Amino acid sequence: MKSLCLGPFLAASAPVGRRAYGGHLSRKCFQKQLHFHSRCVAFSSFICSATISVMPELEEKQVFDGEKANLLVKDLRKSFDSGMTKSYGWRVSQLEAIAKMLEEKEKEITEALYKDLGKPRLEAFITEISQAKSSCSEALKELKEWMKPEKVNTSITTYPSSAEIVPEPLGVVLVISTWNFPFLLSMDPVIGAISAGNAVVLKPSEISPATSSLLANLIEQYLDNSTIRVVEGAIPETSALLDQKWDKILYTGSARVGRIVMAAAAKHLTPVILELGGKCPAVVESDVNLQVTARRIIAGKWACNSGQACISVDYIITRKEFAPKLVDALKEELEQFFGKDPMESKDMSRIVSPNQFARLVNLLDEDKVSDKIVLGGQRDEKKLKIAPTIILGVPEDAMIMQEEIFGPIMPIVTVDNIEDCYSIIKSKPKPLAAYLFTNNEQLKKDYVDKISSGGMLINDAVIHVATRGLPFGGVEESGMGCYHGKFSFDSFSHRKSVLYRSFDADSTIRYPPYTPQKEKLLKALISGNIVQIILSLLGWS
């Protein structure tokens, strides 16, 4: 381990380690030399963890350590400094290669997502593959326009002159992705970084090993390896990467690890984008179309990676007298979606790992919660499945209301007046997304005005992230910075201010000696008062 104490943080939900790849070694050569054995390591303050081990005689030589990470960054910086990534041609060639990869390897991507998360084929396509295609397509279509300098008006004090804002790539950037949408949340920021003209290192999540391995293979096969690389691995590899000097880091994951990433970045004054999460509320008023509301909540919870999404509905707030009707509607629609026995449904993802499964079971089995389950609660440890579960009347001090659930469990909090939702939501860290279901226009305005969140959606859930014209990002505990579409390009670019002047009309007013007449004229110019300027030029007061 390096100086960063990443162990208990990055390992909080990692079941196994993965192989590392980077530096100047080819991936195939590196694989032949290594043979990894995974092991579990318990940490007293966290639920689960993992680390990576190698054969003792190879451990010192072959692990991806700080030295190899440093060589990797140097290689990429050399490629970036050559200027190749800045050209429109290079950017387009890499984006076209990604588009080709997405078309040719859709089956392999779908299979990897099923191995890691049991994602149904259609869900994998809609939530990951099609979104990556859309991102790539938009970048190819708009890139030339994004790269154009933006003209800016100049003032009379710099006359004659012109000015512009020139977007330029930051340099060598690091993308650390997460396991719940392991393909999309890897490729989407990489597409943005490439569009902006950067060299990129991608560190996929070891908790989704099939997708991580596939990404390493595909990026090596399709993209320019002198500028775009993948490093697989767990805690040691991530630590080695974070010890390096980057020009930007994008991390997707928990707020706990986000603090570690930010602390590492601060050592080099590296800017960061943190895409985190939080408890995303859905407030449901009694004036809604009940069937449509139930279906959309289900789509934003159980049909969204079995609730394992940072923007999925984490809990519901509704009126006490309306809650039974809402529960009945959810029950009815859940049966339509997943059948009478949802544990056998092929249309619902599984829990990612035994550790995550155990964490969710602990939340369900808490004394304050277990007797309030009104639907579901069944679990199968071998299949890593938990049935869609609804808990009615959850006390605020229950564990399930204190931490992000990230699973197929839905607490419903009841209130006497819907306006009471504001104090409940504000008592928790600002969420990544906040949802409201109502036909009341005043309630909509008040909700938008009073609730601060990364994003907000009225009368639906989750799908706001598919709107490319909207930035995706959090606020405070739920993250900082944003990306998606043009926002990705901007986030991985520096907007450089450029002022152009000629050698003509070089006024002496700015130069010493500072006479009273110069002072009057200069003040008039700065104020922009035309009358005073004319009077000053004429020598009048």
Annotated catalytic residue within 275, 333, 404, 477: 275
C-alpha span between 445 and 74 (Å, rounded): 51
Our answer to whether residue 366 is catalytic in this structure is no
Looking only at the bridges linking them, the beta strands covering 482-483 and 472-473 are antiparallel
How many other C-beta atoms can be found within 10 angstroms of the C-beta atom of residue 248? 24
Q: What is the DSSP letter of 429?
A: P
For residue 299 the two structure tokens come to: 């789509």
For residue 54 the two structure tokens come to: 């190698």
Crossing angle (nearest 10°) for helices 88-104 and 130-147 = 170
List Cβ neighbours of 76 (8 Å cut-off, separation of 6 or more): 172, 199, 200, 201, 226, 227, 229
State residue 377 phi and psi, 5-degree precision: 95, -15
Q: What is the DSSP letter of 126?
A: I
C-alpha span between 536 and 524 (Å, rounded): 8
C-alpha span between 414 and 528 (Å, rounded): 60
Rg (CA), the chain: 27
Annotated catalytic residue within 48, 280, 310, 421: 310
Crossing angle (nearest 10°) for helices 209-222 and 184-195 = 30
- Number of helices (H), then strands (E), belonging to the chain: the values are 21, 22
End-to-end CA distance of the chain: 73
C-alpha span between 470 and 487 (Å, rounded): 8
Length of the chain: 541
Closest-CA residue to 278 (of 44, 476, 86, 25): 476
Our answer to whether residue 310 is catalytic in this structure is yes
Q: Among all residues, which ones are annotated catalytic? A: 275, 310
